[in-house]
Amino acid sequence: MAGQIGSVLAVVAVLAALAAAVVAVLRLRARRGIATTMQRATYEVLHTASLAAEPLRAGLTQATAAKAVRHLRVLVGAVGLSLADEKRCLAFDGRGHHHIEQLTAAAQRALTTRRSIILTASELPCDRVDCVVRGAVVAPLPGPDGAAPAALVAVADDQPPPGLVQATLEAARWAGSQLALAELDSSRERLARAEVRALRAQISPHFIYNALTAIASFVRTDPERARELILEFAEFTRYSFRAHGEFTTLAEELRSIDRYLTIERARFGDRLQVRLQIAPEVLPVGLPFLCLQPLVENAVRHGLSRKPGVGMVSIEARDAGAECHITVEDDGVGMDPSVFGLESADGDDGQHVGLVNVDERLRSVFGDHHGLIVETAPGAGTKVSMRVPKFHPQVRA
Protein backbone atom coordinates (compact mmCIF):
# COMPACT_ATOMS: atom_id res chain seq x y z
CA MET A 1 0.00 0.00 0.00
CA ALA A 2 2.75 2.40 0.95
CA GLY A 3 4.54 1.58 -2.30
CA GLN A 4 1.46 2.42 -4.34
CA ILE A 5 1.05 5.75 -2.54
CA GLY A 6 4.71 6.54 -3.24
CA SER A 7 4.25 5.77 -6.93
CA VAL A 8 1.19 8.02 -7.13
CA LEU A 9 3.05 10.84 -5.43
CA ALA A 10 5.95 10.44 -7.85
CA VAL A 11 3.59 10.65 -10.86
CA VAL A 12 1.92 13.72 -9.39
CA ALA A 13 5.29 15.36 -8.87
CA VAL A 14 6.30 14.66 -12.47
CA LEU A 15 3.02 16.06 -13.80
CA ALA A 16 3.39 19.16 -11.64
CA ALA A 17 6.91 19.69 -12.94
CA LEU A 18 5.75 19.35 -16.55
CA ALA A 19 2.91 21.79 -15.95
CA ALA A 20 5.29 24.30 -14.44
CA ALA A 21 7.62 23.93 -17.41
CA VAL A 22 4.76 24.47 -19.89
CA VAL A 23 3.61 27.60 -18.02
CA ALA A 24 7.17 28.93 -17.98
CA VAL A 25 7.57 28.39 -21.74
CA LEU A 26 4.24 30.05 -22.46
CA ARG A 27 5.15 33.04 -20.31
CA LEU A 28 8.50 33.33 -22.04
CA ARG A 29 6.92 33.21 -25.49
CA ALA A 30 4.32 35.78 -24.49
CA ARG A 31 7.03 38.05 -23.10
CA ARG A 32 9.13 37.83 -26.27
CA GLY A 33 6.25 38.05 -28.75
CA ILE A 34 3.38 40.47 -29.40
CA ALA A 35 1.16 40.41 -26.33
CA THR A 36 -2.29 41.57 -27.45
CA THR A 37 -4.60 40.95 -30.38
CA MET A 38 -4.52 44.66 -31.20
CA GLN A 39 -0.73 44.65 -31.36
CA ARG A 40 -0.70 41.58 -33.59
CA ALA A 41 -3.25 43.18 -35.95
CA THR A 42 -1.25 46.41 -36.09
CA TYR A 43 1.93 44.52 -36.85
CA GLU A 44 0.29 42.50 -39.62
CA VAL A 45 -1.15 45.63 -41.29
CA LEU A 46 2.17 47.49 -41.14
CA HIS A 47 4.09 44.46 -42.38
CA THR A 48 1.71 43.94 -45.31
CA ALA A 49 1.85 47.65 -46.18
CA SER A 50 5.65 47.56 -46.24
CA LEU A 51 5.57 44.55 -48.57
CA ALA A 52 3.26 46.42 -50.95
CA ALA A 53 5.26 49.65 -50.73
CA GLU A 54 8.52 48.15 -51.95
CA PRO A 55 7.39 47.34 -55.52
CA LEU A 56 5.27 50.51 -55.77
CA ARG A 57 8.30 52.67 -54.95
CA ALA A 58 9.93 51.23 -58.07
CA GLY A 59 7.22 52.76 -60.29
CA LEU A 60 4.05 51.40 -61.85
CA THR A 61 4.62 48.56 -64.32
CA GLN A 62 2.99 45.19 -64.85
CA ALA A 63 5.81 43.52 -62.91
CA THR A 64 5.59 45.85 -59.90
CA ALA A 65 1.79 45.80 -59.96
CA ALA A 66 1.79 41.99 -59.87
CA LYS A 67 4.00 42.05 -56.76
CA ALA A 68 1.98 44.73 -55.00
CA VAL A 69 -1.57 43.69 -55.79
CA ARG A 70 -1.64 40.56 -53.65
CA HIS A 71 -0.54 42.54 -50.59
CA LEU A 72 -3.03 45.30 -51.37
CA ARG A 73 -5.82 42.71 -51.51
CA VAL A 74 -4.91 41.56 -48.00
CA LEU A 75 -4.94 45.16 -46.77
CA VAL A 76 -8.35 45.86 -48.28
CA GLY A 77 -9.86 42.48 -47.35
CA ALA A 78 -11.42 41.91 -50.78
CA VAL A 79 -12.33 38.67 -52.52
CA GLY A 80 -10.33 39.83 -55.53
CA LEU A 81 -8.41 42.95 -56.44
CA SER A 82 -7.02 44.45 -59.63
CA LEU A 83 -4.80 47.40 -60.51
CA ALA A 84 -5.53 48.97 -63.89
CA ASP A 85 -4.32 52.01 -65.80
CA GLU A 86 -6.14 53.84 -68.58
CA LYS A 87 -5.16 51.19 -71.16
CA ARG A 88 -5.24 47.77 -69.51
CA CYS A 89 -5.38 45.71 -66.36
CA LEU A 90 -1.86 45.63 -64.93
CA ALA A 91 -2.42 42.84 -62.40
CA PHE A 92 -5.18 40.84 -60.73
CA ASP A 93 -5.18 38.74 -57.56
CA GLY A 94 -7.91 36.58 -56.02
CA ARG A 95 -11.29 35.47 -57.34
CA GLY A 96 -13.40 37.04 -60.08
CA HIS A 97 -10.77 37.18 -62.82
CA HIS A 98 -13.42 36.27 -65.45
CA HIS A 99 -14.92 39.75 -64.86
CA ILE A 100 -11.65 41.40 -65.82
CA GLU A 101 -13.03 43.21 -68.89
CA GLN A 102 -15.95 44.70 -66.96
CA LEU A 103 -13.73 45.71 -64.06
CA THR A 104 -11.11 47.26 -66.35
CA ALA A 105 -13.78 49.25 -68.20
CA ALA A 106 -15.06 50.55 -64.85
CA ALA A 107 -11.51 51.47 -63.84
CA GLN A 108 -11.07 53.46 -67.05
CA ARG A 109 -14.32 55.33 -66.38
CA ALA A 110 -13.13 56.16 -62.89
CA LEU A 111 -9.79 57.40 -64.25
CA THR A 112 -11.57 59.62 -66.78
CA THR A 113 -13.92 61.17 -64.22
CA ARG A 114 -11.39 60.95 -61.34
CA ARG A 115 -14.21 59.73 -59.11
CA SER A 116 -14.71 56.45 -57.29
CA ILE A 117 -17.40 54.03 -58.50
CA ILE A 118 -19.42 51.36 -56.67
CA LEU A 119 -20.60 48.51 -58.89
CA THR A 120 -23.58 46.31 -57.99
CA ALA A 121 -24.39 42.78 -59.13
CA SER A 122 -26.66 44.11 -61.92
CA GLU A 123 -23.66 45.93 -63.42
CA LEU A 124 -21.54 42.75 -63.35
CA PRO A 125 -23.71 40.14 -65.14
CA CYS A 126 -22.30 36.62 -65.33
CA ASP A 127 -23.53 33.21 -66.55
CA ARG A 128 -21.19 31.16 -64.36
CA VAL A 129 -22.93 29.22 -61.59
CA ASP A 130 -19.89 29.36 -59.28
CA CYS A 131 -19.34 33.12 -59.67
CA VAL A 132 -18.92 34.88 -56.31
CA VAL A 133 -18.78 38.43 -57.66
CA ARG A 134 -21.66 40.53 -56.36
CA GLY A 135 -20.14 44.00 -56.52
CA ALA A 136 -16.93 46.02 -56.67
CA VAL A 137 -15.39 49.28 -55.50
CA VAL A 138 -13.30 51.28 -57.98
CA ALA A 139 -11.00 53.96 -56.56
CA PRO A 140 -8.57 56.09 -58.64
CA LEU A 141 -5.06 56.50 -57.25
CA PRO A 142 -4.40 60.24 -56.79
CA GLY A 143 -1.41 61.53 -58.75
CA PRO A 144 0.92 64.44 -57.86
CA ASP A 145 -0.35 66.63 -60.73
CA GLY A 146 -4.04 65.87 -60.19
CA ALA A 147 -4.15 63.11 -62.80
CA ALA A 148 -4.83 59.54 -61.71
CA PRO A 149 -2.15 57.10 -62.96
CA ALA A 150 -4.18 53.98 -62.13
CA ALA A 151 -7.24 52.66 -60.31
CA LEU A 152 -7.72 50.07 -57.59
CA VAL A 153 -10.68 47.69 -58.08
CA ALA A 154 -11.80 45.66 -55.06
CA VAL A 155 -14.16 42.73 -55.77
CA ALA A 156 -16.85 41.85 -53.20
CA ASP A 157 -18.88 38.65 -52.75
CA ASP A 158 -21.88 40.73 -51.62
CA GLN A 159 -23.15 44.26 -51.98
CA PRO A 160 -19.96 46.28 -51.14
CA PRO A 161 -20.22 47.14 -47.43
CA PRO A 162 -19.11 50.56 -46.13
CA GLY A 163 -16.03 49.00 -44.57
CA LEU A 164 -14.79 47.69 -47.92
CA VAL A 165 -15.53 51.00 -49.61
CA GLN A 166 -13.54 52.97 -47.04
CA ALA A 167 -10.69 50.46 -47.02
CA THR A 168 -10.41 50.62 -50.84
CA LEU A 169 -10.41 54.42 -50.88
CA GLU A 170 -7.72 54.60 -48.19
CA ALA A 171 -5.61 51.91 -49.87
CA ALA A 172 -5.85 53.78 -53.18
CA ARG A 173 -4.79 57.03 -51.52
CA TRP A 174 -1.86 55.29 -49.84
CA ALA A 175 -0.78 53.51 -53.04
CA GLY A 176 -0.97 56.82 -54.92
CA SER A 177 1.37 58.43 -52.41
CA GLN A 178 3.87 55.60 -52.91
CA LEU A 179 3.78 56.09 -56.68
CA ALA A 180 4.21 59.84 -56.19
CA LEU A 181 7.31 59.21 -54.11
CA ALA A 182 8.62 56.87 -56.81
CA GLU A 183 8.08 59.56 -59.45
CA LEU A 184 9.78 62.13 -57.22
CA ASP A 185 12.83 59.90 -56.80
CA SER A 186 12.96 59.29 -60.54
CA SER A 187 12.57 63.02 -61.29
CA ARG A 188 15.38 63.91 -58.92
CA GLU A 189 17.68 61.40 -60.57
CA ARG A 190 16.81 62.67 -64.05
CA LEU A 191 17.22 66.27 -62.93
CA ALA A 192 20.61 65.58 -61.37
CA ARG A 193 21.84 63.88 -64.54
CA ALA A 194 20.48 66.67 -66.73
CA GLU A 195 22.06 69.36 -64.58
CA VAL A 196 25.47 67.69 -64.66
CA ARG A 197 25.16 67.38 -68.44
CA ALA A 198 24.31 71.08 -68.60
CA LEU A 199 27.42 71.95 -66.63
CA ARG A 200 29.57 69.78 -68.86
CA ALA A 201 28.11 71.48 -71.92
CA GLN A 202 28.93 74.83 -70.34
CA ILE A 203 32.53 73.81 -69.70
CA SER A 204 33.05 72.63 -73.25
CA PRO A 205 32.57 75.81 -75.35
CA HIS A 206 33.82 78.36 -72.85
CA PHE A 207 36.90 76.68 -71.49
CA ILE A 208 38.26 74.04 -73.84
CA TYR A 209 38.93 76.44 -76.73
CA ASN A 210 40.78 78.92 -74.52
CA ALA A 211 42.73 76.11 -72.82
CA LEU A 212 43.91 74.66 -76.11
CA THR A 213 44.83 78.11 -77.37
CA ALA A 214 46.91 78.76 -74.26
CA ILE A 215 48.65 75.37 -74.58
CA ALA A 216 49.40 76.00 -78.27
CA SER A 217 51.14 79.27 -77.41
CA PHE A 218 53.75 77.35 -75.39
CA VAL A 219 54.41 74.54 -77.87
CA ARG A 220 57.38 76.31 -79.51
CA THR A 221 58.54 78.66 -76.78
CA ASP A 222 58.30 76.28 -73.81
CA PRO A 223 57.57 72.66 -74.85
CA GLU A 224 57.93 71.33 -71.31
CA ARG A 225 55.36 73.82 -70.04
CA ALA A 226 53.04 72.86 -72.90
CA ARG A 227 53.42 69.17 -71.98
CA GLU A 228 52.54 69.87 -68.34
CA LEU A 229 49.51 71.89 -69.36
CA ILE A 230 48.30 69.11 -71.65
CA LEU A 231 48.49 66.63 -68.77
CA GLU A 232 46.62 69.02 -66.46
CA PHE A 233 44.00 69.58 -69.15
CA ALA A 234 43.59 65.83 -69.66
CA GLU A 235 43.09 65.22 -65.92
CA PHE A 236 40.65 68.11 -65.67
CA THR A 237 38.49 66.86 -68.55
CA ARG A 238 38.61 63.28 -67.29
CA TYR A 239 37.22 64.39 -63.93
CA SER A 240 34.64 66.74 -65.45
CA PHE A 241 33.26 64.17 -67.88
CA ARG A 242 33.41 61.10 -65.66
CA ALA A 243 30.37 58.83 -65.92
CA HIS A 244 30.16 57.52 -62.34
CA GLY A 245 28.97 59.16 -59.15
CA GLU A 246 26.57 61.98 -58.44
CA PHE A 247 28.69 63.10 -55.49
CA THR A 248 32.35 63.76 -54.84
CA THR A 249 34.54 64.98 -51.99
CA LEU A 250 35.78 68.48 -51.39
CA ALA A 251 39.33 67.22 -51.84
CA GLU A 252 38.58 65.84 -55.33
CA GLU A 253 36.74 69.01 -56.34
CA LEU A 254 39.69 71.16 -55.18
CA ARG A 255 42.11 69.00 -57.18
CA SER A 256 40.08 69.63 -60.32
CA ILE A 257 39.91 73.34 -59.52
CA ASP A 258 43.69 73.45 -59.10
CA ARG A 259 44.11 72.01 -62.61
CA TYR A 260 41.59 74.51 -63.96
CA LEU A 261 43.41 77.43 -62.36
CA THR A 262 46.78 76.14 -63.60
CA ILE A 263 45.49 76.36 -67.17
CA GLU A 264 43.87 79.76 -66.57
CA ARG A 265 47.15 81.11 -65.15
CA ALA A 266 48.78 80.10 -68.42
CA ARG A 267 46.27 82.42 -70.13
CA PHE A 268 46.27 85.38 -67.74
CA GLY A 269 49.81 85.12 -66.38
CA ASP A 270 50.45 87.29 -63.33
CA ARG A 271 47.08 88.99 -63.75
CA LEU A 272 45.39 86.04 -62.01
CA GLN A 273 46.19 85.63 -58.31
CA VAL A 274 44.74 82.82 -56.19
CA ARG A 275 44.38 82.58 -52.42
CA LEU A 276 43.40 79.30 -50.74
CA GLN A 277 42.35 78.77 -47.12
CA ILE A 278 41.23 75.17 -46.67
CA ALA A 279 40.79 73.50 -43.29
CA PRO A 280 42.23 69.95 -43.56
CA GLU A 281 39.40 68.42 -41.52
CA VAL A 282 36.77 69.33 -44.16
CA LEU A 283 38.56 67.74 -47.14
CA PRO A 284 36.56 64.45 -46.86
CA VAL A 285 33.19 66.29 -46.84
CA GLY A 286 30.84 64.99 -49.56
CA LEU A 287 29.10 67.39 -51.93
CA PRO A 288 27.37 67.27 -55.33
CA PHE A 289 29.69 66.63 -58.26
CA LEU A 290 30.85 69.81 -60.04
CA CYS A 291 29.24 72.20 -57.55
CA LEU A 292 32.36 74.17 -56.63
CA GLN A 293 34.22 74.34 -59.94
CA PRO A 294 31.49 76.43 -61.69
CA LEU A 295 31.77 79.05 -58.94
CA VAL A 296 35.50 79.41 -59.54
CA GLU A 297 35.03 79.48 -63.31
CA ASN A 298 32.35 82.13 -62.88
CA ALA A 299 34.75 84.24 -60.78
CA VAL A 300 37.43 84.05 -63.47
CA ARG A 301 35.17 84.44 -66.51
CA HIS A 302 32.75 87.10 -65.34
CA GLY A 303 34.96 88.83 -62.78
CA LEU A 304 38.64 88.99 -63.60
CA SER A 305 38.55 88.58 -67.37
CA ARG A 306 36.68 91.91 -67.62
CA LYS A 307 38.87 93.71 -65.09
CA PRO A 308 42.04 95.53 -66.14
CA GLY A 309 45.15 94.75 -64.13
CA VAL A 310 45.60 92.09 -61.45
CA GLY A 311 42.64 90.16 -60.05
CA MET A 312 42.34 87.91 -57.00
CA VAL A 313 40.24 84.76 -56.58
CA SER A 314 39.88 83.56 -52.99
CA ILE A 315 38.65 80.07 -52.09
CA GLU A 316 37.94 79.32 -48.43
CA ALA A 317 36.57 76.19 -46.72
CA ARG A 318 36.06 76.42 -42.96
CA ASP A 319 35.07 73.89 -40.32
CA ALA A 320 31.81 75.07 -38.72
CA GLY A 321 30.81 72.25 -36.40
CA ALA A 322 28.31 70.05 -38.20
CA GLU A 323 28.79 72.00 -41.43
CA CYS A 324 31.49 73.05 -43.85
CA HIS A 325 31.29 76.69 -44.95
CA ILE A 326 32.72 77.37 -48.42
CA THR A 327 33.16 80.74 -50.11
CA VAL A 328 34.48 81.72 -53.54
CA GLU A 329 35.23 85.43 -53.86
CA ASP A 330 36.74 87.65 -56.54
CA ASP A 331 37.62 91.34 -56.62
CA GLY A 332 36.45 91.71 -60.22
CA VAL A 333 33.93 94.04 -61.81
CA GLY A 334 30.91 92.66 -59.93
CA MET A 335 27.42 93.52 -61.08
CA ASP A 336 24.19 95.21 -60.05
CA PRO A 337 22.26 92.91 -57.64
CA SER A 338 18.95 94.21 -59.00
CA VAL A 339 19.60 92.57 -62.37
CA PHE A 340 21.06 89.39 -60.96
CA GLY A 341 18.94 86.65 -59.42
CA LEU A 342 19.33 82.93 -59.05
CA GLU A 343 15.76 82.52 -60.28
CA SER A 344 16.36 84.22 -63.64
CA ALA A 345 20.04 84.33 -64.36
CA ASP A 346 19.90 84.34 -68.16
CA GLY A 347 22.54 86.74 -69.31
CA ASP A 348 24.71 87.03 -72.34
CA ASP A 349 25.93 83.64 -73.62
CA GLY A 350 24.24 81.93 -70.66
CA GLN A 351 26.06 84.04 -68.06
CA HIS A 352 25.82 82.74 -64.50
CA VAL A 353 23.94 79.60 -65.53
CA GLY A 354 26.45 77.66 -63.43
CA LEU A 355 25.34 79.45 -60.26
CA VAL A 356 21.69 78.59 -60.91
CA ASN A 357 22.59 74.97 -61.53
CA VAL A 358 24.64 74.65 -58.36
CA ASP A 359 22.00 76.40 -56.24
CA GLU A 360 19.25 74.05 -57.44
CA ARG A 361 21.32 70.92 -56.83
CA LEU A 362 22.36 72.02 -53.33
CA ARG A 363 18.73 72.70 -52.41
CA SER A 364 17.49 69.40 -53.85
CA VAL A 365 20.07 67.40 -51.86
CA PHE A 366 20.42 69.30 -48.59
CA GLY A 367 17.19 71.37 -48.41
CA ASP A 368 16.13 74.91 -49.29
CA HIS A 369 18.15 76.43 -46.45
CA HIS A 370 21.38 75.21 -48.07
CA GLY A 371 21.23 77.25 -51.30
CA LEU A 372 23.87 79.68 -52.53
CA ILE A 373 24.25 83.15 -51.06
CA VAL A 374 25.52 85.70 -53.61
CA GLU A 375 26.89 89.10 -52.57
CA THR A 376 27.83 91.47 -55.38
CA ALA A 377 27.79 95.12 -56.44
CA PRO A 378 29.21 97.06 -59.40
CA GLY A 379 32.96 97.48 -58.92
CA ALA A 380 32.92 95.52 -55.63
CA GLY A 381 33.49 92.00 -56.91
CA THR A 382 31.38 88.95 -56.15
CA LYS A 383 31.26 86.59 -53.17
CA VAL A 384 29.40 83.28 -53.35
CA SER A 385 28.88 81.23 -50.17
CA MET A 386 27.48 77.79 -49.45
CA ARG A 387 26.89 75.64 -46.37
CA VAL A 388 27.39 71.89 -46.75
CA PRO A 389 26.56 69.38 -43.98
CA LYS A 390 29.55 67.24 -43.06
CA PHE A 391 27.34 64.15 -42.96
CA HIS A 392 24.14 63.54 -44.91
CA PRO A 393 22.33 60.20 -45.40
CA GLN A 394 21.83 60.74 -49.16
CA VAL A 395 25.42 61.76 -49.93
CA ARG A 396 27.90 58.98 -50.68
CA ALA A 397 31.03 60.27 -52.34
Q: What is the DSSP letter of 126?
A: -
Q: What is the pLDDT of residue 1?
A: 47
From 368, 372, 346, select the one nearest 358 (Cα to Cα). Answer: 372
Number of Cβ atoms within 10 Å of the Cβ of 372: 19
- How far is the CA of 155 from the CAs of 100, 121, 269, 314, 390, in angstroms? 10, 11, 77, 68, 52
In a 13 Å sphere around the CA of 358, the CA atoms on its Cβ side amount to 24
Averages of pLDDT over each 10 residues, the chain, 397 residues: 45 46 50 68 83 85 90 91 91 92 92 90 90 92 76 91 91 86 68 56 64 84 89 84 76 92 87 92 90 87 77 93 93 75 45 71 83 87 91 74
Output the pLDDT for position 4: 45
Q: Quick one: pLDDT at residue 339?
A: 60
96 φ/ψ sector (left φ>0, alpha ψ -120 to 50, else beta): left
Q: What type of residue sits at position 241?
A: F
